[in-house]
Structure 1
């Protein structure tokens, strides 16, 4: 049975082949899309889905009475205030959000672990991963010739080998986390860039030119004008992506694009929350200020994608 990860890849491929994108897609790996909704400053629907971890979690949260939400958020405030001075600083917020992101990733890996650790030895071998993910194809390579499973499997094996630090072709939880979430690990980032280059570089010259860059996000149909964002992306490519102005992106320029190091999402979120709740503008938050804006905070990464609000045993 083909694993759900592979099915998601196939569904994306089908969607791309059968319809023209109406909005640009992003290759930036610094953070996955937080919500499929558009941000609306007049309500918190985007924030609830984005920072609670999806539509289902947001709907669950919506059923919590405000009084209970505030009570649980008050407990979380005490955990964020690590120096116990009665205030939450921007740095404490940033540290909490970073930790929440890490917990989210670890929980994601944990939820998949038993699916792949078939012999229950607390390790996932390449053979186990391959059999779970590509089992149907391995049993009968001719069962579906529409997709190049062999190419996908080779790419996975290459990534697995890089994540496998000790080279024994089995992954412990840390190595498997690096395999599933390579953008979060420094030693894996070149694989993310290489895979991106292979996807976009249609002429195989080892670079991404403007046509390939735009073509990865958008396919123009006959007699249609390009959306405004396409022109904006062309300008982005010329002015910022192509740093050496040779008309194409090399590996280093591609890494700067998809794995930017000049933007810290946790820092940006911390600043956003401070701006929303710091009513006296003293650069720090009291518990009262946070609770006054509970509708903002419970829709934020500060609450561990909302999971902390849902775990009754912690409150």
Structure 2
């Protein structure tokens, strides 16, 4: 449900480019089930959420570069892999397992991609100093003097340090691979719950009172153009805020209420997505789907050049 918001001389431009390259590898915003997608789950406006849940974020971008024929051909091969008992059907259990597998693989690949960048002494661990120096290094010594928005970068450093310390369970200033995974993907770890909530509040709370009012809540999702009529879904969100999000009816969402919003207990989003995909494509309503049913609804599962919601890629992966 959330909307993404997050960087005059030649020297300043160069510095900004360098910092932008080094800026933290972790999600800028942990908010609304980042393990699946940052896109709203709204099939009326496209299937990007479904694509990223089914394929994983990076592979979904790859499919966006294929022709429809190529996408369907690759999808058929994926279906064969999902059908683990080879009975010709994809059950809810098989689809749920596949989506969870894609989530885990995305996280593992993201950690692996960044590990060597930060483990400067190659000791199999990442110290806070290694991360800080690799990400901010020269700019810390210079107090970000050459950067136009230096307050923002100082804030990013503070935010990173808070998150790193929370991920560092034994408080030794050094992250193991598991702790570094918690740093990059705190939404996956129960002990990181407080930092997930705090960062969400920090991002949405514009007046700095530590709470989220209705205007901040809606403003995070919808910024109307001049003269634009407010869509119906925004009216629905206003009602959600007053009826459910603001549970104590004081006009704000505090940290506990934000936690209930973004970390709602035992909700299994992979399970919900598996149910959703089966419901939308199971034409004979037998609670399982065939390859034929999946391919007839291929654009719900994968993208293509014809349904390109993703960014251009410079290379393709031959296999998942």
Same fold flag (TM > 0.5): yes
Q: CA RMSD of the aligned region, Å?
A: 3.9
1:2 counterpart SS class: helix
Shift of 1:201: 3.2
Kindly tell me: are residues 65 and 6 of structure 1, through their superposed partners in 2, closer, same or farther at Cα, counting changes over 3 Å?
A: closer
Q: Structure 1, residues 9-28: CA drift from partner, whole Å, max 9, x if none?
A: 9xx9xxxxxxxxxxxx9952
1:281 counterpart SS class: coil
Q: Is contact 1:3-1:133 (8 Å) kept?
A: no
Aligned equivalents of 1:3, 1:186: Cα separation in 2: 30
| Corresponding residue number in structure 1 for 2:137 | 135
Equivalent in 134, 137, 147 of residue 150 of structure 2: 147
| Corresponding residue number in structure 2 for 1:4 | 21
Aligned residue runs from structure 1 range 124-273, under 5 A: 124-141=126-143, 142-148=145-151, 149-218=153-222, 224=227, 227-228=230-231, 229-261=233-265, 263-273=267-277
Which range is displaced more, 102-111 or 44-53? 44-53
Shift of 1:218: 4.9
Shift of 1:158: 1.1
Residue 72 (structure 1) aligned with residue 77 (structure 2): yes
TM-score (norm 1): 0.73
| Corresponding residue number in structure 1 for 2:90 | 88
Aligned equivalents of 1:104, 1:65: Cα separation in 2: 22
Equivalent in 88, 100, 103 of residue 101 of structure 1: 103
Q: Is contact 1:88-1:285 (8 Å) kept?
A: yes
Aligned equivalents of 1:273, 1:267: Cα separation in 2: 10
Kindly tell me: are residues 145 and 202 of structure 1, through their superposed partners in 2, closer, same or farther at Cα, counting changes over 3 Å?
A: same
Q: Is contact 2:51-2:301 (8 Å) kept?
A: no
| Corresponding residue number in structure 2 for 1:15 | none
Q: Structure 1, residues 204-261: CA drift from partner, whole Å, max 9, x if none?
A: 443222233334445678x746623544432221111101112111111011222334
1:72 counterpart SS class: helix
Aligned equivalents of 2:238, 2:22: Cα separation in 1: 32
How many residue pairs were aligned?
287
Q: Structure 1, residues 131-159: CA drift from partner, whole Å, max 9, x if none?
A: 12112421311122523222221221111
Kindly tell me: are residues 209 and 295 of structure 1, through their superposed partners in 2, closer, same or farther at Cα, counting changes over 3 Å?
A: closer
2:111 counterpart SS class: helix
Kindly tell me: are residues 44 and 163 of structure 1, through their superposed partners in 2, closer, same or farther at Cα, counting changes over 3 Å?
A: closer
1:94 counterpart SS class: helix
Q: Mind listing any 5+ residue stretches in structure 1 that lack a counterpart?
A: 13-24, 301-308
Q: Is contact 2:126-2:174 (8 Å) kept?
A: yes
Q: Is contact 1:2-1:136 (8 Å) kept?
A: no
Aligned equivalents of 1:44, 1:210: Cα separation in 2: 28
Aligned equivalents of 2:255, 2:41: Cα separation in 1: 32
